[in-house]
Structure formats: structure tokens, C-alpha cells
Amino acid sequence: MKKGKKQWLRVCNGMMSGALVLLGFTSCDENGTGTGRCEYGTPYAKYEIKGKVTGEDGQTVSDARILVKNMAPGDSHARAVSSDTVYTKENGEYLYQNTITGYQNFRIICEDLTGTYKVDSMDVKMNPTGGSGWYEGKDNKEVNFELKKKE
């Protein structure tokens, strides 16, 4: 019984494949229809955001937390989809690098963990260039913060 079922499935698959070939369907056609080469994957880009955090007195802020939030594209409520965290070094500088699919809008939030300074944030739109195929390219931005003291 099982052998007959397998044989029947092979015959049906062969007939359907033959019909598709006779009708002219192909999986990828580079030149025939003008639709270009088919690729399997997801668009991605490399991003780098760096900067320096200082207080309003010009002194560097070390160990400040930098939250990099990926914002949903086209969302009127500006919801964060995911986030990453980096911390400033002793000289107040930070560096965020990532390869991400589907996001180009980021909200950068700077928090002083000592509680001396107020939280500050900035929205950044990345525009990757220089890519081909699924690789959209890369972009880097410099985002500096000058934090105000809490009253």
C-alpha cells in the first residue's frame, strides 16, 4: 500500500513539473522577463555610531550608559523594536557597531549612572551606501552628548 502511494506521488510530481516547464515557468530568469536575478536572503547594512559624552562643564562622563534603540520603520508612535547597550570609556567616548536587517532609524539615549546628570536622547536616521544585492552598504554617524546637571 505504501509503495503504491509513493509511486503515485512521484507520477503526480513529474506531471506537475512537466506542465510548469511547458507553460514556461522558471524559478529565476536573469534576462528573459527583465525582473532581474532572484536572490534569497534579507537586506542588511553595517552601522557605526560613535561619540563623546561630556557634562555641561566640559568634563568627560565615564561609564555612562548608551542605549541604541532600533525604531520600527513608519511607526507613528516611535516604538523601539529592540535595543543594544554600550558604555563610555574613561575619556567619555563610546562606539556602537552592528550589522542589522531592516532598521535605519535609531534613538540614542544617554544615561549617567551616577545620577549627577539628566538623561538625554537623540534620534538618528542612517542612510547606508555602497552596497549591492542584499548588502545595502554602511553608514556611520557621530552623536555627542552634553549632559545638563540635575537640579
> Could you give the domains of the chain?
44-147 (2.60.40.10)
- Looking at every residue in the chain, the average pLDDT score rounds to 84
Please say if the pLDDT value at position 74 is more than 70.
Answer: no
pTM: 0.70
**What is the widest separation between alpha-carbon atoms in the chain?**
85
Sheet holding 80-87, edge to edge: 80-87, 65-71, 105-111, 120-125
Alpha-carbon span 70 to 103, nearest angstrom: 6
Please say if the pLDDT value at position 28 is more than 70.
Answer: no
Distances (CA, A) of 10 to 13, 33, 124, 141: 5, 31, 55, 57
The answer to whether 86 and 66 have CB atoms below 8 angstroms apart is yes
Question: What is the average per-residue pLDDT within 78-104?
Answer: 87
Confidence bin at 39 (pLDDT 50/70/90): low
Phi, psi of 11 (to 5 degrees): -65, -45
